[in-house]
Structure 1
Amino acid sequence: MDTRLNFYTANPEAMRLLGALEQRIAKSGIDKPLAELLRLRVSQINGCAFCLDMHFSDAVKAGEQTRRLASLSAWRETPFFSDRERAALAWTEAVTLVADTHVPDAVWEDIRPHFTPEELVDLMLLITTINTWNRFAIAFRKMPA
């Protein structure tokens, strides 16, 4: 596949604004390893090769175990994730697949004990931002280096 458009050079202001969202996420209470797990899971669901490559590397740099990363798509069937991570992964999948799931009440009830209201907003910002990046990268065919 060939890259369709370099969206960074086509509209630097729009990319600066997406970058500002990333800066807010970095300052949030969401720890880096969890953030990278969630970014990676969204990118798996969306099939974004560029983001899969980048966030796998970022997760490893953040100290994530490759065993957990390799089993991320089957997180429900493994013992490798905490209850907090499981709740965040379920929430992430439901939000990413919102047209299909409408984010069920059961998923909401499962996540509430594990995160503060502020953290829930930060999680939503993280999930919606990586979904935005996925859509840019997929639509404009951004390729891994």
Structure 2
Amino acid sequence: MEVRINHGAVYPEAYQTMLKLEGFIKSSGLDPILYEFIKIRSSQINGCAFCLDMHTRDLRKMGETEQRVFLISAWREAPFYTAKERAVLELTEAVTTISTHGVPQDLYDRVREHFDEREFVTLIMAINTINAWNRIAISTGMFPAAE
């Protein structure tokens, strides 16, 4: 496999813009574990192997169990996630596939049980950020490095 374009080298300002989005999310107060859940679930839906490889490793380094990492794609059937985590995963799916059903009111209400309006906006920004990274990685041909 070969990377098509090194987007960071070709257009550093574009890459820096994405890093600013990352910095915004990281400084927002969003729980880093929840952010990794968002990154992994969006990357699963979008089929971004590069991002899945990176973020599953990152989540493991944060001390998360293999069981919770491996079962994110089947979170509805796994009893290992809190109501708050489930709300975030469901919102991630809805925003990532927004053209399918949008974000239904009942989902918005479930998320708001755990997050205020400002935190809700942060979640949306986090979901959009990883979706953008997925699209960059897939479009430029990025892939996980062999071990």
TM-score by length of 1: 0.97
Q: Which runs of 5+ in 2 are unaligned?
A: none
Q: State the Cα RMSD in Å.
A: 0.9
Mapped contact 1:44–1:73 kept (Cα < 8 A)? yes
> What's the offset of the Cα at 1:132?
0.1
- The corresponding residue for 1:52 is 52
- The corresponding residue for 2:22 is 22
Q: Amino acid of the residue matched to residue 13 of structure 2?
A: E
Distance in 2, matches of 1:143 and 1:83, equals: 33
Q: Which runs of 5+ in 1 are unaligned?
A: none
- Range with greater deviation from structure 2 (104-113 or 68-77): 104-113
Aligned length: 145
Q: Amino acid of the residue matched to residue 63 of structure 2?
A: G
TM superposition outliers: structure 1 runs of 4+ over 4 Å: none
- The corresponding residue for 1:11 is 11
TM-score by length of 2: 0.95
Q: For 2:113, what is the secondary structure of its paired residue?
A: helix
Q: Amino acid of the residue matched to residue 114 of structure 1?
A: H
Q: For 2:103, what is the secondary structure of its paired residue?
A: coil
- The corresponding residue for 1:134 is 134
Matched-pair identity in %:
47
Distance in 2, matches of 1:82 and 1:41, equals: 16
Distance in 1, matches of 2:31 and 2:24, equals: 13
